[in-house]
Chain A
């Protein structure tokens, strides 16, 4: 029997070093729910115990029940029956049943709907473990954001109608946004929403690429203002699946085979409006997407973890040239890079979760009558910066983790070489599954656009200043000095970019974002190396252990030293200001080729 929670030292270390007391106090609003619900915690200790126990239990399910079924589900995929039903792989139904019985389908929902009132941080731990077991499953499990959106913006009547079923896992949901002509550019959505004389809303039109579109609860973005062609003409609706919701096809995909991707035709489907009209895209879907991006970031960390583990195991046991291949410098270096890449993404993921949970918690304080004017004022003040940090870190984390999962899955196959290319090992599935992560919930290029403004408008600099304000271990001074120089380099680049055009900022966006990420993660590693909670973990040498903090200091050193040169190179490119991409595109790209 294994356990994807207890066997993951880095995950537990990161979690132990987060301020879970403060976090739980925010989400539990001073532990006031304990009086009303016998399972709500009465103290920080109890809340933290709950998080750990539930994650440990889920970790076991992931390891012993879900992971062994992943290959079978990947091979089976989903099928669309003649009468328009989607048949999931058998194992998927069994797994969803187990998850429902485990009460984890409404992790972040309030107690009153049967939820666990867990913070986003803990949902991310769950998403990471689930994805390590089976990336496709996360696409259904992780759709808990739909319930969150309903909870945040819908009327009490709609909440009562939908949330109990979602929390209990009796129903699953889908975010129904994309259309054949509206992918990244959602504001051109065409699906129509209209009202009859009694005021009842209906939906009409086609949505495409809908993950779990066969789910029972559909959150649909549609055009309610027929005179407006932009994002302000869009509203958000919720409806049940039924005879007027027709699954027309399911996609034949490269990866995540067990996650059904549907095309849906709404044939005058009755629905209900969420919140107010015209705020669908600009407010509600933006919030929904931010949550989903954190989910995909966690999914990617899970895939990366799984891919790393197979490679690490193989490198130690595969013998060539008279010894295990991990003795070969080239393989050894790949293994180390993969491990650090996974830990880098994880560090940024949970830091992002921390900030997002702060945002959610503080927002609740400003909206609740339980707090004094003074407290609310204080919360509002804090919120101002926290919101900007969250808006920058969320796409940053999504970008970093998803690119990481692709690189690590790629290298994992490389370590296994021929065997990794064969279906005997799971690496090729990780590779195929990872591929979508940089695409859905906003492509890497869109994530860069979403965070580059934050990087260039001073938010990143302010945030990094806060990160640097920490009681670091004195041994790290040399590293902190390097990071300080890196920050000066970043300041210089930002200054240069701002003197150029917006177009230039987007052209060099990825480079400046990379610089920011490397500085942020450098500080995060240093913080981990200076954290309060340490643990002893085994090393690769049999019988030897190492303190996690010391290990993180080693990683911080390597990471910061190696990246100093990378940051320098990126900065040179930014400052050099090559514009041939714009100016010489026609010559370089040549005519559009004919595809035979």
Chain B
């Protein structure tokens, strides 16, 4: 039996490196000032998919929704061992919240087809952990969240161990299924040298065109196995009312920065008043409370 796995990955700003300099004056984050990285738990999901492929056979397709530059994480997925990579990119995806994102990715997953969908438990930019379960609902699949190990896999049944925070569960269900994977699941491998040497040249059609390549060049890249798939909303037959801003029920009301600028510090009077003021300030900026 060969299992077709889709792994959903996301390119995220490296929030662990945020300093005062990465904040705009209005309190929003200057994404450009942060390195873009492969979302850490998506690496765990990809590793798990690759282990499944090595143990049980099948294929792994990495899928991401994002800007054209998100092709970078897809190349990394190819370095690690993904068989295919697909970029879902469209200006009309902009401002999608988790619900709209899950809709668009569901359309893409349905077009590609799969037995298993894997994704990281959550992404470090939003920490919402919502897109996975939201997709599972739309795909009409059961979901197993917080997976840390796959114990057993047959064409009709998967058994996983889930990390429940205050304990664990061993659960089983039929395929197809969607798994969200935690960083406890494994230690992701690094890119394989021979794959790096080959797939460093992999590109999306948009990237080839941007460099002045013709349709002929795109075909040639495809023949060499170096073409990264690219889908827009029309390709996945998405209903635009569920995409982008229109498809997103949640909106941003306000953003506030809480990063202290370098070495900003205060002497606090050890009197009752001093302590009260400090506690009050920490409640104000949501550090506590």
> Interface on A for B, CB 8 Å cutoff?
38-41, 49-50, 53-54, 57-58, 60-61, 65, 94, 98, 101-104, 107, 114, 116
* Distance (whole angstroms) from the CB of A108 to the closest CB of chain B: 12
Question: Known: A101-B192, A102-B192. Is A65-B197 also a contact (CB below 8 A)?
Answer: no
Question: Known: A39-B198, A49-B200, A65-B187. Is A116-B224 also a contact (CB below 8 A)?
Answer: no
* Distance (whole angstroms) from the CB of B202 to the closest CB of chain A: 11
> What are 27 A-B contacts with C-beta separation under 8 Å?
A39-B195, A39-B197, A39-B198, A41-B197, A49-B200, A50-B196, A53-B197, A53-B200, A54-B193, A54-B197, A57-B79, A57-B190, A57-B196, A58-B190, A60-B190, A65-B187, A65-B190, A101-B81, A101-B189, A102-B190, A102-B191, A102-B192, A103-B192, A103-B195, A114-B194, A116-B194, A116-B197
- Contact check: which of B190, B191, B192, B198 meets A38 at CB < 8 Å? B198
B189-238 residues at the A interface, CB under 8 angstroms = 189-198, 200, 224-225
Q: A41 to chain B: which residues have CB within 8 Å?
A: 197
- Contact check: which of B187, B193, B195, B197 meets A98 at CB < 8 Å? B187
The 7 closest A-B pairs by CB, nearest first: A103-B193, A39-B197, A39-B198, A103-B192, A54-B193, A39-B194, A61-B190
B224's nearest neighbour on chain A, judged by CB, is: A38
Per the bound structure, the CA–CA distance linking A77 and B20 in Å amounts to: 45
B191's nearest neighbour on chain A, judged by CB, is: A57
Q: A50 to chain B: which residues have CB within 8 Å?
A: 196-197, 200
Q: B197 to chain A: which residues have CB within 8 Å?
A: 39-41, 50, 53-54, 116
Overall SS of chain B's interface: loop
The total of interchain contacts (Cβ-Cβ below 8 angstroms) comes to 53
Q: A38 to chain B: which residues have CB within 8 Å?
A: 198, 224-225
CB <8 Å contact, A57 and B193 = yes
CB <8 Å contact, B200 and A102 = no
> Interface on B for A, CB 8 Å cutoff?
79, 81, 187, 189-198, 200, 224-225
Per the bound structure, the CA–CA distance linking A473 and B195 in Å amounts to: 41
* Distance (whole angstroms) from the CB of B25 to the closest CB of chain A: 21
Per the bound structure, the CA–CA distance linking A54 and B200 in Å amounts to: 11
Per the bound structure, the CA–CA distance linking A72 and B167 in Å amounts to: 27
Q: B193 to chain A: which residues have CB within 8 Å?
A: 54, 57, 102-104, 107, 116
B225's nearest neighbour on chain A, judged by CB, is: A38
Per the bound structure, the CA–CA distance linking A94 and B188 in Å amounts to: 11
* Distance (whole angstroms) from the CB of A527 to the closest CB of chain B: 30
Q: A104 to chain B: which residues have CB within 8 Å?
A: 193
18 additional A-B residue pairs with CB within 8 Å, beyond A39-B198, A53-B196: A38-B224, A38-B225, A39-B197, A40-B197, A41-B197, A49-B200, A53-B191, A54-B197, A57-B191, A60-B190, A98-B189, A102-B190, A102-B191, A103-B192, A103-B193, A103-B194, A103-B195, A116-B197
* Distance (whole angstroms) from the CB of A104 to the closest CB of chain B: 5
Q: A114 to chain B: which residues have CB within 8 Å?
A: 194
Q: A57 to chain B: which residues have CB within 8 Å?
A: 79, 190-191, 193, 196
Overall SS of chain A's interface: helix
Per the bound structure, the CA–CA distance linking A39 and B200 in Å amounts to: 9
* Distance (whole angstroms) from the CB of A548 to the closest CB of chain B: 23
Q: B224 to chain A: which residues have CB within 8 Å?
A: 38
Per the bound structure, the CA–CA distance linking A65 and B190 in Å amounts to: 10
* Distance (whole angstroms) from the CB of B207 to the closest CB of chain A: 16
* Distance (whole angstroms) from the CB of A580 to the closest CB of chain B: 56
Per the bound structure, the CA–CA distance linking A54 and B190 in Å amounts to: 10
B80's nearest neighbour on chain A, judged by CB, is: A101
B199's nearest neighbour on chain A, judged by CB, is: A39
A105's nearest neighbour on chain B, judged by CB, is: B193
Q: B194 to chain A: which residues have CB within 8 Å?
A: 39, 103, 114, 116
Per the bound structure, the CA–CA distance linking A60 and B76 in Å amounts to: 13
Q: B198 to chain A: which residues have CB within 8 Å?
A: 38-39
Q: A49 to chain B: which residues have CB within 8 Å?
A: 200
Per the bound structure, the CA–CA distance linking A94 and B200 in Å amounts to: 26
Per the bound structure, the CA–CA distance linking A58 and B196 in Å amounts to: 11
* Distance (whole angstroms) from the CB of A85 to the closest CB of chain B: 25
CB <8 Å contact, A94 and B190 = no
- Contact check: which of B79, B187, B192, B195 meets A94 at CB < 8 Å? B187
Name, among A58, A61, A101, A116, the residue most crowded by chain B CB atoms within 10 Å (CB to CB): A101
* Distance (whole angstroms) from the CB of B272 to the closest CB of chain A: 33
Per the bound structure, the CA–CA distance linking A57 and B81 in Å amounts to: 14
B198's nearest neighbour on chain A, judged by CB, is: A39
Name, among B196, B197, B198, the residue most crowded by chain A CB atoms within 10 Å (CB to CB): B197
* Distance (whole angstroms) from the CB of A105 to the closest CB of chain B: 10
Q: B192 to chain A: which residues have CB within 8 Å?
A: 101-103
Q: A40 to chain B: which residues have CB within 8 Å?
A: 197
B193's nearest neighbour on chain A, judged by CB, is: A103
Per the bound structure, the CA–CA distance linking A101 and B190 in Å amounts to: 8
Per the bound structure, the CA–CA distance linking A267 and B174 in Å amounts to: 54
- Contact check: which of A39, A98, A116 meets B190 at CB < 8 Å? A98
B47's nearest neighbour on chain A, judged by CB, is: A101
Q: A65 to chain B: which residues have CB within 8 Å?
A: 187, 190
A167's nearest neighbour on chain B, judged by CB, is: B194
Q: A116 to chain B: which residues have CB within 8 Å?
A: 193-194, 197
Q: B190 to chain A: which residues have CB within 8 Å?
A: 57-58, 60-61, 65, 98, 101-102
Per the bound structure, the CA–CA distance linking A94 and B225 in Å amounts to: 31
- Contact check: which of A39, A53, A102, A107 meets B189 at CB < 8 Å? A102
Per the bound structure, the CA–CA distance linking A109 and B79 in Å amounts to: 20
Q: B200 to chain A: which residues have CB within 8 Å?
A: 49-50, 53
* Distance (whole angstroms) from the CB of B114 to the closest CB of chain A: 23
B14's nearest neighbour on chain A, judged by CB, is: A1
A97's nearest neighbour on chain B, judged by CB, is: B189
